[in-house]
Structure 1
Amino acid sequence: ILVACLVAIYGLAMRQGMAKDRVMEICGHALQPAGIILLVIGAGGVFKQVLVDSGVGPALGEALTGLGLPIAITCFVLAAAVRIIQGSATVACLTAVGLVMPVIEQLNYSGAQMAALSICIAGGSIVVSHVNDAGFWLFGKFTGATEAQTLKTWTMMETILGTTGAIVGMIAFQLLS
C-alpha cells in the first residue's frame, strides 16, 4: 500500500498537477485500513506478552494439558476460547501461540508436528466470528446482509472452516507422531 501511495503521489501530484491536499487525502484514505490492521496485530502481540509475562500463559497451558487433552486439541480449544472472548482471529492466534509455546517447547516436536499444531491454532482462531470481528462487518457490509443474516452465514462458514482445518491439523499431527 505504501508503494502504491508513493506511485500515486508521483503520478497525481507531480505528473498530473493535482493539489497536494487532495493527493494527501487519497493516500490517507488508502493507508487507513493498513493502520488498523497493524494496530490489531500490535495489540494482539501486547495482549499475548502480558499473558506470558504475568505467568498466566504457562499456568493456563499446564492446566489445559493437565486435563489430559491431546496437545492438538488443546491448541484448537485455546485459540477458539480467545477468539470467542475477544473477537479477533489475529489476536487469538498470537495469544494462543504465546500460551502454548512454553508447553510445546519442552516436548521437542519436529517441524512438521509444529506445523500441524499451527494449523490447529489457526483453525481455532477463526471459529465463531461475531460482532467484535472486522471480517464479520466487512462481510455484512459488502453483501448487504443484516447482523442476524451475517451471524447465520459468515459465522457458520467460519466455524465450519476453522473446525475442518483443525481436524485436518489434528489428523496430520497424529500421523506425524
Structure 2
Amino acid sequence: MTSNGPFGPIEFQLVLLRRMADHQPELVDEARHELGVSLAAMREANRRWQAMVRSPRSRSAVARYRSVLGEPESVTRRRIGDLECDALIWPVVLWPTLRFEVMTAPGGAVWNEWLVRAPGETGPEPRTAEDLRPWSCTVDEVARAFPPARPLPGTAPTRTGLRFTLPGGGTAVAEFTWGLLQRWTE
C-alpha cells in the first residue's frame, strides 16, 4: 500500500483497527498480520482517511464510503421512532460475520456508522460477564443480552459506551469502538 495507490476496503479496515489499537493492541497486531500490512501502512491509511474527512473539498460521508468501499451490499429502509432512515451495509474481510453499517437520515446525513452483525448470521448469546470478550459482541448484542441497558457518550467520535445490568444484579459499563466490544468494567 502506498500513499499514491487507491484507498479501498483494506485501507478502510486499517482505519477501523487504528482506533481499536487504543484498547486492544494485541488483537490489532494479529489482524494487521492477517491482512499482511505493516504498522506504518496502518498509520498511513489513517492519515489518508483523516485527510479525506477533513478536506475543505470533502465529499459527503456517504459518497466517501461509496468511493472507498464500493456499492453497499444492501440498502434497507428503517423506521426508528418517527424517523425513516436508510441503513447501508458493506462486508469487512476481518470480520466475515459482521458488516459495516452507515445509517443516513432523510437528506443523506450520516448519523451512525459502526459494525453490526451481518443479516442472517447468528451472533453470540452472552449469558455471563465472562462471555464478554473483546471483539466478540456488538452494541446491540450486549444490550439485548443484559437488560436494562443504556447508551453512554463515547470518549471519541468512533466510540460508544453502554451501561448494562449484570446477571444477579450490579451494573457494568462496556466500551465499543466502531460498534465492536473492546472492554468492560464493573
Per chain length, whose mean CA-contact separation is higher, i.e. which structure has more relative contact order (CA < 8 Å, sep 6+)? 1
Verify same fold: TM over 0.5: no
Normalized per residue, the structure richer in helix is 1
| Structure index of larger Rg | 1
Q: TM-score, normalised on structure 2? A: 0.25
